[in-house]
Amino acid sequence: MHFDGSRRGVGLGRLGRSSHPFSDPLTYPGRQSTDDGVVGPWGFRAIPAPAVVSSLQQAGAAPMTSRTPVIGVGSNASPAVLRTKLGATSLVPLEVVWLDGVVLAYSAHVSRWGYVPAAVGVDGRGSVSAVRQGLSAPEPPRARLRVTLGWFDEAQLALLDASEPNYTRVPVNLGGRSVWLYDTDRGVLADPRHGAVRPFASQHVILGWVATLLAVSVSPRSLATRLAADATLRAEVTSLLQDHRVPSGLPRPR
């Protein structure tokens, strides 16, 4: 498989291969790129959006016109995690986009890997929309979240859907075009101080809070290790988290 090698490449060591969320839950969601580009066998390569079409054609990969755009939050925005989910030889174009009116939150469940995963929650001050990175218009007076838009071929999309059993893929608007986003089926964690969506911080923070709920004296790392190894404990903690959840607020098609 040939790919234009004239663009800047970023190895997976720099984007989190050495500290992968699946093997080290405290590193969730993994390192993410801040540039448009393509994930491939080499890792991540920064490529301007106009050059992606010709680069995919050179590689003999599915064209952009046959790919489905899916907004990634959490580990789906990590090149290293995408390679694990989709296979090391997959080519996936990535764009940096902005979502307005939402915050990055915690889904109210524990993943099989031992971390509390991310989800999107509506901040209550406006409808969900998205704009391309770099627009000169002033930021609106509501939350704004930078996320990654991945473009997946049919086989890749099936694998990605299968990797998200606690989420439903729903359509959202991106500058007049329809793209997709995984909305949590479990609700998002609420801030106990005022009941609003609890903003995502880190696994150290949230697992420290979980330890308090469990009334145990244990470090976040030890708790993450136990959660990854014990399905019964994961179910117990997920049940506790369900008592502290609110709906994500994202609209779903009827």
Residue 199 has pLDDT above 60, yes or no: yes
- Tell whether 237 is covered by a domain: no
User: Considering the entire predicted model, what is its pTM?
Assistant: 0.85
**Structural domains counted in the chain:** 1
User: Cβ(39)–Cβ(91) under 8 Å?
Assistant: yes
User: Cβ(38)–Cβ(92) under 8 Å?
Assistant: yes
* pLDDT number for residue 141: 45
CATH number at residue 190: 3.10.490.10
- Tell whether 132 is covered by a domain: yes
List, for residues 212-226, the tens digit of each pLDDT value: 999 999 999 999 999
- Tell whether 211 is covered by a domain: no
* pLDDT number for residue 131: 45
- Tell whether 2 is covered by a domain: no
Residue 2 has pLDDT above 60, yes or no: no
Domain membership of residue 129 as a residue range: 9-201
Residue 17 has pLDDT above 50, yes or no: no
- Tell whether 51 is covered by a domain: yes
- How far is residue 3's CA from residue 40's CA, in Å, rounded to a whole number? 9
- Tell whether 163 is covered by a domain: yes
User: Cβ(170)–Cβ(68) under 8 Å?
Assistant: no
- Tell whether 164 is covered by a domain: yes
Q: For 196-235, b where at least 16 C-beta lie within 10 A, e where not — what string? A: ebbebeebeebbebbbeeeeeeeebeebbbebbeeeebbe
- Tell whether 131 is covered by a domain: yes
* Mean pLDDT on 3-9: 40
User: Cβ(11)–Cβ(43) under 8 Å?
Assistant: yes
Residue 85, SS3 per DSSP: helix
| Cis bond before residue 247 (omega within 30° of 0) | no
* pLDDT number for residue 136: 36
List, for residues 96-137, the tens digit of each pLDDT value: 998 888 899 999 999 999 999 999 998 764 445 544 444 333
